[in-house]
């Protein structure tokens, strides 16, 4: 038996914008998927699993067992983590770059035309600055509260819908550029330990995602408002929107725990 493991993620800043060549700031979280792979007479699995296996050099049939701590359909990178875990199970010792590349087979099957940021942060861990496929590790650390909206959503539908509206709505491109700039600023805030600045960037980014891109929803608005009311320094949706989860920035671990207790979310630390 061969085992692979990979973490989920949150997009701190830059979701959607990253699809159009702008940067994103993303962080791995301490929620994981573990995959166990064993030889079998056949490979009764999705085509993307088989593609990962074959490209990783696994030639025979196989069976797969999946154990997940990551809620599906909440913008927390469950498909990317699964792809990276599969890559590591089929090819133990593969590099982070190869694990991320192999995971793209599953990302394309699930999301259509993904940016690649999700498997990149799942494979690298920590916090990354992702721009047009290039990955830079980011220093600094923070604590967040993740609050699920209660609405599952599919990234493919949200991304494709935005792409269609972008053809006729110039506000979308302006918002995309602004979201990319916020990702650049957010990187500096995190590296400098400026949590107030980062929290303000969260709030501003959420306004662009809601008003400029139109990818929020009532449930996400309630989640973000609940996080702010519980004391978060800033809050925003994370991921594609249309459901999923919101994240609130905390002062420290204890504060994140307090926000989680008040809202029913869960606290996670990010970065070094």
Tens digits of residue pLDDT in 213-224: 999 999 999 999
Q: What is the CATH number of domain 2-137?
A: 3.30.230.10
Q: Which of 118, 169, 173, 211 is catalytic?
A: 118
Strands, sheet with 266-271, edge to edge from the N-terminal-most edge strand: 235-238, 245-250, 141-148, 266-271
Q: What is the CATH number of domain 139-271?
A: 3.30.70.890
pLDDT 10s digits, 69-110: 998 888 899 999 999 999 999 999 999 999 999 999 999 998
pLDDT 10s digits, 25-77: 999 999 999 999 999 998 788 999 999 999 999 999 999 999 999 988 888 99
Please check the confidence at residue 197 and state whether its pLDDT lies above 80.
yes
41 is catalytic: no
pLDDT 10s digits, 165-176: 898 999 999 999
Domain range annotation of the chain: 2-137, 139-271
pLDDT at site 156: 65
- Could you tell me the pLDDT band of residue 116, with boundaries at 50, 70 and 90? very high
Q: What is the pTM of this model?
A: 0.94
Mean pLDDT of 257-264: 98
Mean pLDDT of 264-268: 98
């Amino acid at each position: 038996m061969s085992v692979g493991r990979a973490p989920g993620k949150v997009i701190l800043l830059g979701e959607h914008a990253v699809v159009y060549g702008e940067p994103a700031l993303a962080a791995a979280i301490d929620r994981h998927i573990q995959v166990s792979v064993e030889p079998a007479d056949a490979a009764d699995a999705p085509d993307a699993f088989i593609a990962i296996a074959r490209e990783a050099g696994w030639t025979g049939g196989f069976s797969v067992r999946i154990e997940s701590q990551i809620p599906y359909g909440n913008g927390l990178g469950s498909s990317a983590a699964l792809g990276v875990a599969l890559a590591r199970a089929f090819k133990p010792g593969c590099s982070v770059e190869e694990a991320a590349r192999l995971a793209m087979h599953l990302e394309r099957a699930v999301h259509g035309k993904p940016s690649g940021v999700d498997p990149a942060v799942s494979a690298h861990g920590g916090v990354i600055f992702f721009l047009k496929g290039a990955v830079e590790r980011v220093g600094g650390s923070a604590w967040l509260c993740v609050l699920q909206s209660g609405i599952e959503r599919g990234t493919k539908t949200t991304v494709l819908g935005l792409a269609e509206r972008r053809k006729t709505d110039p506000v979308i491109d302006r918002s995309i550029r602004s979201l990319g700039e916020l990702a650049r600023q957010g990187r500096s805030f995190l590296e400098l330990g400026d949590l107030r600045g980062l929290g303000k960037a969260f709030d501003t980014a959420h306004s662009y995602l809601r008003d400029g891109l139109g990818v929020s929803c009532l449930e996400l608005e309630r989640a973000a408002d609940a996080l702010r009311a519980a004391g978060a320094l800033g809050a925003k949706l994370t991921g594609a929107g249309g459901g999923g989860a919101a994240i609130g920035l905390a002062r420290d671990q204890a504060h994140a725990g307090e926000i989680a207790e008040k809202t029913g979310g869960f606290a996670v630390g990010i970065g070094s």
